[in-house]
Amino acid sequence: MDENRAFLEVNDLKVEYVTKEETVHAVNGVSFRLEKGKVMGLVGETGAGKTTIARTILRVLQEPPAELRSGQVFLGGQNLLELTEEEMCNVRGSRITMIFQDPMTSLNPVMSVGKQIAEVIELHNDIPKNEVRKKAEEMLETVGIPAERYDEYPHQFSGGMKQRVVIAIALACSPELLLADEPTTALDVTIQAQVLELMKKLNQENNTTTILITHDLGVVAEMCDEVAIVYAGEIVESGSLEDIFRHPAHPYTIGLFGALPKLDEDTEWLSPIDGLPPDPTDLPPGCRFHPRCDKASEDCACNAVGLREVSPGHRCRCLLVKDKEDPSCPN
Q: How confident is the model at residue 327 (pLDDT cuts 50, 70, 90)?
A: very low
Contact 287, 302 (CB under 8 A): no
Model confidence at 3: pLDDT above 50: no
Task: Give the model's pLDDT for residue 212.
Answer: 94
- Residue 123 covered by a domain: yes
- Compute φ and ψ for 13, nearest 5 degrees: -80, 125
d(CA 285, CA 328): 23
> pTM of the full predicted structure?
0.87
Task: Give the model's pLDDT for residue 331.
Answer: 37
Stronger pLDDT, 209 or 5, i.e. the higher one: 209
User: What would the mean pLDDT of 202-225 be, rounded to a whole number?
Assistant: 88
User: What would the mean pLDDT of 128-151 be, rounded to a whole number?
Assistant: 89
Q: CA quadruple 172, 177, 181, 187: dihedral positive or negative?
A: positive
- Residue 113 covered by a domain: yes
Closest to 54 in 3D by CA, of 94, 5, 101, 98 = 98
- Residue 148 covered by a domain: yes
Q: How confident is the model at residue 323 (pLDDT cuts 50, 70, 90)?
A: low
- Residue 97 covered by a domain: no
Count how many domains the chain has.
Answer: 1
Contact 176, 76 (CB under 8 A): yes
**What is the tens place of the pLDDT at every residue in 27-56?**
999 999 999 989 999 998 888 899 999 999
- Residue 36 covered by a domain: no
Contact 40, 220 (CB under 8 A): no
Model confidence at 2: pLDDT above 50: no
**What is the tens place of the pLDDT at every residue in 229-276?**
999 999 999 999 999 999 999 999 999 988 887 777 777 777 778 888
Contact 33, 8 (CB under 8 A): yes
- Residue 249 covered by a domain: no
**What is the tens place of the pLDDT at every residue in 84-117?**
999 998 888 888 989 887 777 889 999 999 999 9
- Residue 116 covered by a domain: yes
- Residue 149 covered by a domain: yes
Residue numbers of the domain that contains 124: 104-174
Task: Give the model's pLDDT for residue 70.
Answer: 92
Q: Over the chain, what is the mean pLDDT?
A: 87
Task: Give the model's pLDDT for residue 31.
Answer: 94
d(CA 254, CA 259): 9
Task: Give the model's pLDDT for residue 4.
Answer: 57
Model confidence at 330: pLDDT above 60: no
d(CA 321, CA 111): 54
Residues 6+ apart with CB under 8 A from 197: none
Task: Give the model's pLDDT for residue 16.
Answer: 94
The contacts found for 250-257 with CB under 8 angstroms, 24 or more apart, are: 250/289, 250/316, 250/317, 250/318, 250/321, 251/289, 251/293, 251/294, 251/295, 251/318, 251/320, 252/289, 252/292, 252/293, 253/229, 255/292, 256/43, 256/217, 256/229, 257/217
Lowest mean pLDDT among 20-24, 176-180, 203-207, 316-320: 203-207
Task: Give the model's pLDDT for residue 13.
Answer: 95
**What is the tens place of the pLDDT at every residue in 173-212?**
888 899 999 887 767 777 778 778 877 887 888 888 999 9
- Cis status of the peptide bond prior to 65, with omega within 30 of 0: yes
